[in-house]
Amino acid sequence: MNIAFLCPGQASQKVGMGLDLYENTTLGKDYFDRANDIMGLDIQDIIFNGPEDTLKQTQYTQPAIYIVSVIIGLLLMEKGIQPSSAAGHSLGEYSALTLAKSFDFETGLKLVKVRSEGMHNAGRLHPGTMAAVIGLDDKTTRDICDQYTNGIVVPANFNAKGQVVISGEVDAVHAVMPLMKDAGAMKVIELNVSGAFHSPLMTSAKEILSEMLLSIEIQDSEIPVYANVTASPITTADDIRQSLIDQLENPVRWHESITRLVSDGMTRAVEVGPGRVLQGLSRRIDRSLDMSGVETLEQIVSFDYV
């Protein structure tokens, strides 16, 4: 069976996620303990006990989801479930690359820590926002953003057919939201985020992250990982490094990534990490896709490979 591990991104977090893995598996406890040391703070307490307002802050959310997703993936692999390919939505690309053995858990978490802090600080330095555009095709959404010249607004996530997220300066996003409605969008919903992710407003975060990515060793991945920036499979260390550098300022091409995975032979997909966001998107992209999710120890134990 050609199975793909798909790793979720920001907004999939929930207070208490991974607690069963910490309490009942040696690997889970070991990795959560290592995470506290790397983060230099009690990330366990934030993940397990919240409060939610703290957990949803970018500098904590991203490491938290990364930690839980990687532990779940490793426990599945310990059970003998070996993916043929992987992909991750935005932050999730780091989880996918760790599971593909491009870098180890510690290196990945250090990268995610720098990335999340850089994005948080970029959001404070250059305030921005994001909005979900529902019911409008990709080209029309992109054209409206391109034609707006009084500020920065760009497509940030091509998530599924008729579901695009735009990102940019607050006034610019607010200005194009009614234009999207006028063009036929069913809904345009501003998102509760701390910055304009996957837009040029993330330049300062990209610079800091690039510096670290260029200073660390990255291995060729053991399986293809479908990159957000290109929606194509990559395996070489150079391509992986460049993909992660480019990712912060460019859109997540998730719709294309899933379509390409299917055309390349994926027969089953598993959302490895908290929440059901990617399962929902996958149903919108391709209803025939055999897709499930694993986020608890019980689901890991009962997971059927056949």
What amino acid positions are annotated as catalytic residues? 90, 198
What's the per-residue H, E or C state across 225-244? EECCCCCCEECCHHHHHHHH
| Residues near 120 by beta carbon (within 8 Å), at least 6 away in sequence | 57, 58, 59, 194, 195
Nearest to 106 by CA among 92, 117, 94: 94
| Residues near 274 by beta carbon (within 8 Å), at least 6 away in sequence | 8, 12, 13, 14, 17, 18, 65, 68, 69, 295
Are 225 and 100 a contacting pair, CB within 8 Å?
yes
Phi, psi of 13 (to 5 degrees): -70, 155
Strands 187-190 and 128-134: antiparallel
For residue 51, cis peptide bond before it (omega within 30 degrees of 0) = yes
Element (H, E) at 132: strand 128-134
What tokens were used for 157?
């996530």
What is d(CA 158, CA 151) in angstroms, rounded to the nearest whole number? 21
Nearest to 174 by CA among 166, 164, 182: 166
Give CA angle at 248 (174, 14), nearest 5°. 80
Are 136 and 166 a contacting pair, CB within 8 Å?
no
